[in-house]
Chains A and B, each alone.
Chain A
Amino acid sequence: EEQLVESGGRLVQTGGSLRLSCAASGFVFSDYDINWVRQAPGKGLEWVSYISTSGATIYYADAVKGRFTISRDNAKKSVYLQMRNLRQDDTAVYYCAKTGLYNWFDPWGKGTMVAVSS
């Protein structure tokens, strides 16, 4: 069974940093692109970042560009999201998701909660 498990979310102060991890199992990790998607409390889904299989191609949403960095370690079957200069509007559940052939997301992890407070 394909599975993704996020970790690293916690309460952090405004301006702080956090590193999220996404561990994969059940598929050949190095063959798939991975995305991060977030969901603020009671709100909709917002795509955050994308990384290709080798890490050579990376994209970010404008809202996080310059503050977040995505990376991956294919040997560890993991993707990371380094978050810096966190703001209150970064408060959300952060999901990682495997990317399908035409960039649909499946499966998703269960998510990890990031709360940014002053």
Chain B
Amino acid sequence: DIQMTQSPSSLSASVGDRVTITCRASQPISNYLHWYQQRPGKAPKLLIYTASTLQSGVPSRFSGSGSGTDFTLTISSLQPEDFATYFCQQSYNIPPWTFGQGTKVEMK
């Protein structure tokens, strides 16, 4: 199975900060990498698919990059509603599809 490792596991930031989260795959996955946001008590929400394509309705302060094994999610200017947990997910080849362990973005 492909292992996905996110870093950091948590971070503290302030409104307006630039935040970067990384996700590393245990083997190359091309661009079959997707990012989700999960607020407490809510279902995950798709932010970015195929590494860098912004889902419709998602603010442009969110961006994604990477290919192969290393990927990043960037929030250019953190807003109050962005304090949440972020997960990456790979969908390379047939299942099992796997998620990173999550990165919790907390208020400093």
Interface residues of A, Cβ cutoff 8 Å to B: 35, 44-47, 50, 59, 61-62, 95, 100, 102-111
**9-residue interface stretch from B42-50, B67-75, B76-84:** B42-50
Inside 8 A of A45's CB, which chain B residues have their CB? 36, 44, 87, 89, 99, 102
B31, chain A: closest CB distance, angstroms: 8
A104 lies within 8 A of B95 (CB): no
Asked if B43 and A108 sit within 8 Å, CB to CB, the answer is yes
Using Cβ atoms and an 8 Å threshold, which residues of chain B touch A95? 43-44
Residues of chain A with a CB closer than 8 A to B98's CB:
47
Q: With A44-B100, A45-B99, A47-B96 given, is the CB distance from A108 to B89 under 8 Å?
A: no
B82-108 contacts to A (CB < 8 Å): 87, 89, 91, 94-102
A100 near B49: Cβ-Cβ < 8 Å: yes
Contact at B55–A111, with CB atoms within 8 Å? no
A59: chain B residues within 8 A (beta carbon): 94-96
A33 nearest CB across to chain B (Å):
11
Chain B residues within 8 Å of A50, by CB: 95
A44 CA / B38 CA spacing, docked (Å): 10
Q: Contact between A104 and B34 (Cβ–Cβ < 8 Å)? A: yes
Residues of B within 8 A of A62 (CB): 96
Instruction: Find the A residue at minimum CB distance from B45.
Output: A108
